[in-house]
Structures are given as C-alpha cells and as structure tokens.
Amino acid sequence: MISYPEKKPDVAGSKASSFNASEIRFADIILFVGKYIKLLLVIVIASVIAGVAYSFTLRKKYEARVSLLPEYGTSKRGGFSLLSAGLNGEGAEKLQPDLYPTIMQSSPFGEYLLKQPVVDQDNKSYKTLLDFMKAQEKPGLLSGLFSSSSKTPAKEVKLNQDGILSYTLQEQSNINGAISLLSSEVDQKSGVIQISAETVDPFVSAIIVEAAQKYLVDYVEDYRSSKASQREGLLADRVKEAKARLRAAEFALQSYRDQNRNIFSNTAKIEEQRLQAEYVLSESLYSDLVRRYEQAKVTVKEERPVFKTLEPVKVPLLKSSPKRLRIGLIWGFMGGFLTLLYILLVKEKVVQKIVSGANE
C-alpha cells in the first residue's frame, strides 16, 4: 500500500478565499454594470412605458381649493400654548388656526358632507354627496363571485343614546370616504389655510370645498362666541324677570297710593316708603341688566372670528391626477430595483457566495 504524506491545510489560502468571496472591489462593480447594463435599461424603459400605459386606465380627477386667512389671537401658538391658555382663561374663547384641519377630520363633518346636494359637470343633480359617490362606484373584478352565497350578513345593532355616535360598517365607510376627498393645511409662516377637494368631477370638487369652508367658519364662530352667547341668553332671561318685577312693583305702589290718598297715618307712610324703595330697587336692577345685556350683544359680535377669503373657490379646468410622468418614473424605479434584486440573488447568487466564503 502506497501511503501519501498528509497534506496540511493552507490556512493562508483559506483566509484569502474567504476574503475574496466577501470582498467587492470597484473593478467588480464596473464588470457587473457592463454585464447587465443593457438588461437593466431595457427593464427600466419597459416599466416606465407600462406605468404610463397604466395611468391611462385611471380616472381623471379634478382638484378645487380655497385659501382663507383667519383672525389670529393676541399670542402666537407655542410649545406651552395650551397650558398658558388655560392659565390665562382664554381656552374657551380662542381656537388656534392650526387646529382647524382637525375639525375637518371629525365624524360629524363627514356626516355633514354626505348630506350636501351636488351637481356634476353634466348638470345632473344629486340629492346628496352620498348618492354621487354611490353612482361613481365601480364594481370590482371579483364582486360577483360570492353574490350567490347563502350566508346572510350579521345584523348590526346601533346604540341610540345622546352624546354617543353609533354607525354601521357601511355608514362609517361612507364617512371615511367623504373625509378622504378633502385635505387641509395651515401655513405656519403666513397663517393661510388651504382647503382642497379632489373628485372625478370638477363641479363636485368645487361644491364640497365651498361646503367645507362654510362648515369650518360656522364651527369656529360657534366655538369662539359660545361663551358670550350663553352670557347673552342668561342676561336676556334676567332682563325679562327684572322687567316683570319692575312692573309689579310699580303697579303695587300706584295701587297703594290710589287706595290711601287721604290717609295720613305713620303706618301708611311706612308702607308707601317700602313700596317706593322696592320700585326704585327694581328700576335700578332693570336698568343695570339692560345695560349689561346690550354690552353682551356687542361682545358676541366682537368674539366672532374674521375670515378673509384670499382665493375663492374656482371650478378646476385641468385635471390634477393621474400624473402620468410620476407614475411612469415610479414604475421604472420599481422595475429596475426588482430586476437588480433578481440579478444579485438569483443569477449571481451573491448571498450564497458570501455565506459559503464565510464558512470556508
């Protein structure tokens, strides 16, 4: 039997092979790009063309907008504005403009929008925005596959209690759909509020932007003047009571004088003085309440915020989406990225080479 000498492993060689397997040199990158540049270019160009072609299947949308400049408070909103507003007693009267977009994300606002009557560009009237949204819905490709199912949908029970909103799944979906049509933002530097709506019809977009503007203005006016309005209503009730008291005191005084004209007793004079004092007090109270009531009415008007329309709502003439160039570029980037992953992981098997080189 012939025996061969044992061959010692080449430690330096194994380390070198492991290093070469995991090392990527600049020359390797140049060779890689030169090898697959044509394939990448073809895929990217084809993806761009496919993206542009796909954009033609999307429905055109039109965006309408309005620009508002609201009245600001005396102090700018800062990091401790809510705390300082509470300490200064201005929390109920002041509603900062950067909170206005939050108002138009609420469920009551969605309900308000769904109830607005709209007219499309074909001069077709819809009783509500909800009817228009239902008319624009397109059935999905798989919508009819399960239409013959024998299962009946579960009955949805709504809670009927004041102060609690209760919707079915369909109602909540409709509200979310109406809210998603609108967007709003506040420019922190200039304070200008932009309200925009994008739908498949230019007339509808303009109508719901106008409705959103009205809702916002009414909401802020009610919020800002609610405390003054409550005070006005309270004073109005007190004025009525004071007026009735004044009339009663005047009638009692005059009746007593008519019945006791020729009586000169001290008891009669005391009673007349008492009725006279009651009349004077009632008259003074009534005059003071009337003065405060008139001041409260002026305060209500002063508390109402001022909204200046910088750019009124206009019916859009050009579509705002789909943006075909942007869609094509996105598709081209995704096509090139996926192709690059395929080349690295499948054709070049970079991961396997790195793992095998690390194990050697």
pLDDT at 146: 45
- pLDDT at site 138: 66
- CA proximity to 211, closest of 128, 91, 311, 144: 128
Residue length of the chain: 360
- pLDDT for position 252: 86
Nearest Cα to Cα of residue 113 among 174, 204, 178: 178
Please name which of 212, 273, 177 lies closest in space to residue 66, comparing C-alpha atoms. 212
- The confidence score (pLDDT) of residue 11 equals 42
CA angle 30, 34, 40 (to 5 degrees): 115
Helix extents (H) in 137-265: 169-180, 202-259
- What's 309's DSSP letter? E
Report helix, strand or coil for 186.
Answer: strand
Domain-by-domain residue ranges, the chain? 36-58+322-360, 62-72+94-133+164-311
The pLDDT of residue 76 is: 43
pTM over 0.75: no
**Structure tokens that stand for 275 in this block:** 């009725």
| Structural contact between residues 212 and 183, judged by C-beta atoms closer than 8 angstroms | no
User: Please, what is the Cα angle at 51 between 49 and 53, to 5 degrees?
Assistant: 70
Residue in 305, 320, 283 with CA at minimum distance from that of residue 202? 320
**H helical segments located in 99-201:** 100-103, 107-114, 129-136, 169-180
- Write out the chain's pLDDT in tens, 360 residues: 444 444 444 444 444 444 444 466 767 667 777 778 888 888 889 988 998 888 888 888 899 999 888 765 444 444 333 333 433 444 444 567 777 888 888 899 999 999 999 999 888 999 999 999 888 876 544 445 444 444 555 666 777 777 788 888 888 999 999 999 998 888 878 778 889 999 999 999 999 999 999 998 888 888 877 777 788 888 888 989 989 988 998 888 888 887 777 666 667 678 888 888 888 898 889 899 899 888 888 877 777 777 888 888 899 888 888 888 898 899 999 988 998 888 878 777 766 666 666 666
Q: What is the pLDDT of residue 330?
A: 92
